[in-house]
Amino acid sequence: MAVKIRLKRLGAIRTPHYRIVVMDSRAKRDGRAIEEIGKYHPKNDPSVIEVNSERAQYWLGVGAQPTEAVVALLKRTGDWQKFSGDKSPSGVDPQPEKPNKTALYEKALGNNDDAAKVSAFSAKKSEAKADESKADDAKAEESDEAKADESGDATTEA
């Protein structure tokens, strides 16, 4: 059986997502795959490429033929260089880290006195919650003691 490594299209119109799959060369583009070895999301900036390197190396080693698009993706991840013994560097752009929204908010406030007010307000709010929880605990203890007293009275009467 002739096996190919190719892209299987998913997603709605104008929002393609692809899975890198191993399938029979005679199967439909979106047909049943033998194995899924990766993902490719071209619309993200930078595009997301995830490949299970171990499985890709296995399938390349047993003779699966990648399509041109998959070869380009494997070159970006460095898997093609491992397979062919090429020394050229891979070209994957790392995903940027998402900024911390609270840090950005505090930075936007800058040297304003509002920052002190916001932190003081949240400190007061947390103190109020702590006081409220202590009061709830005290009420629970009082009710437990009252129940214990009532049950003790009931046993002495009998």
Cβ contact 21:10 at 8 Å:
no
Beta bridge partners of 18: 9, 40
Nearest to 94 by CA among 77, 82, 80: 77
* Separation of alpha carbons 150 and 112, rounded Å: 59
pTM exceeds cut of 0.85: no
Q: Helices marked H in the chain — which ranges?
A: 53-61, 68-77, 79-84, 101-109, 114-157
Q: Is 74 exposed, middle or buried (0-12, 13-18, 19+ CB in 10 A)?
A: buried
Q: What's the pLDDT at 91?
A: 63
Local structure of residue 45 (DSSP, 8 states): S
Domains and CATH numbers, the chain: 3-84 (3.30.1320.10)
Q: What's the pLDDT at 30?
A: 79
* Separation of alpha carbons 58 and 80, rounded Å: 12
pLDDT tens for 44-78 read 878 888 888 888 889 888 888 999 999 888 888 88
Residue 21 — very low, low, confident or very high, per pLDDT cuts 50/70/90?
very high
Quick check: 25 pLDDT over 70? yes
Q: Report the mean per-residue pLDDT for the chain.
A: 77
- Over pLDDT 70: what percentage of the chain? 63
Residue 158 — very low, low, confident or very high, per pLDDT cuts 50/70/90?
very low
